Amino acid sequence: MNCEQCQELIHDLIDGHISQRDEFTLNTHLKQCLDCDGVRQDLASIVNFCQMHRGEYAAPPNEQALWLRIRNVVEAENGRRIAAAQKASGRPSFLSRWMNHSWQLSLPQLAASTAAIVLVVSLATVVGIRRWGGNEVPVTPAYTSNVNDRVFQRTQAINYWNQRVEMNKARWSPQMRETFDRNMRVIDEAVANSLNDLNRNPHDEVSEQMLNESLNDKLALLKEFSDL
């Protein structure tokens, strides 16, 4: 027996499917050949290890298959329960079918459903307010809210820059401080005049333009002087 034949028989030996004659010949060769005996020992160790730790290693995870199995189990359970209920009460009603339906949605389906619900509710609200609630709900005129929003937004920015100016003002020369204060007063006057005009006539385009520009000018002045 040569080594090649021997190593082929080693597998049969470890599996226990070898004839007595082959086993004898193989053992005789293994006693004489250390290499083949080493192969037999290695292979036997591997097979033993696998047999001892069978079932301990983790199978490659397959979430989808797992969930599919769980869902099948749940559906089978539900199906049995529904069938039992149907047997008990005859033909199921629409409501009971709808209630007993398995509502399982994927993430995109869930998002689309939510969006659709929000859209429908919004439309219904708008239509409802326009049709039935117009007289009861006081709606602020668009121009007034726009102006107020704009003034509010600008005021926020103006307050921020004003704080920065106040921090640096002490470093300025008296002349620069006087100049700044004088110019700020002039712009504030322009803002106040525009607001007064808008209060008298909220639709006045010129006053609105002037208010916008004077607020912009105030912001620009503050920014420019905040660097000094």
Partner 1 sequence: MSSRFTTDRRPIRASLVAVGALLALVSLSAATVVNAQQQFSKRYPGGKNVRVELRNISGTIVVESWNKNEIRLSATIESKDAHVVPKQINDCLMVDVMGDNRGRGDIGDINFKLQVPANSSVDVETRRGNINVANIRSGLVRAYVSSEGDITLTNISATHVVAQNVIGDIFFDGEFSSGGTYEFKSTKGNITIRIPGDSAFRLVAASPTKQIQLNDFWNSGFKTQDGRKYVGDVGDGRSSVSVTNFSGSITFMRK
Binding site for partner 1 (CB under 8 A): 171-173, 175-176, 179-180, 182-183, 186-187, 189-190, 193-194, 197, 205-207, 209-210, 213-214, 217, 220-221, 224-225, 227-228
Mention every residue, 6+ apart, whose C-beta is less than 8 A from residue 95. none
Q: How far is the CB of 111 from partner 1 (least distance, A)?
A: 49
Nearer to partner 1, 119 or 220 (CB): 220
Mention every residue, 6+ apart, whose C-beta is less than 8 A from residue 11. 43
Q: How far is the CB of 190 from partner 1 (least distance, A)?
A: 4
Q: How far is the CB of 164 from partner 1 (least distance, A)?
A: 14
Q: How far is the CB of 128 from partner 1 (least distance, A)?
A: 39
Surface-to-core class of residue 165, CB atoms within 10 Å of its CB (0-12 exposed, 13-18 middle, 19+ buried)? buried
Nearer to partner 1, 37 or 213 (CB): 213
What single string gives the DSSP state of each residue in 34-79? HHHHHHHHHHHHHHHHHHHTTTTSPPPP-HHHHHHHHHHHHHHHHH
Nearer to partner 1, 80 or 203 (CB): 203
Nearer to partner 1, 22 or 197 (CB): 197
Torsion of CA 42, 44, 46, 52, to 10 degrees: -150
Q: Which of 82, 112, 121 is nearest to 99 (CA)?
A: 82
Q: How far is the CB of 161 from partner 1 (least distance, A)?
A: 13
Q: Which residue has the tokens 């239509």?
A: 127
Phi–psi pair at 226, nearest 5 degrees:
-70, -20
Q: How far is the CB of 199 from partner 1 (least distance, A)?
A: 14
Q: Which two tokens stand for residue 134?
A: 């117009």
Q: Let me know: does 36 contact 2? Beta carbons within 8 Å.
A: no
Nearer to partner 1, 92 or 169 (CB): 169
Nearer to partner 1, 14 or 186 (CB): 186
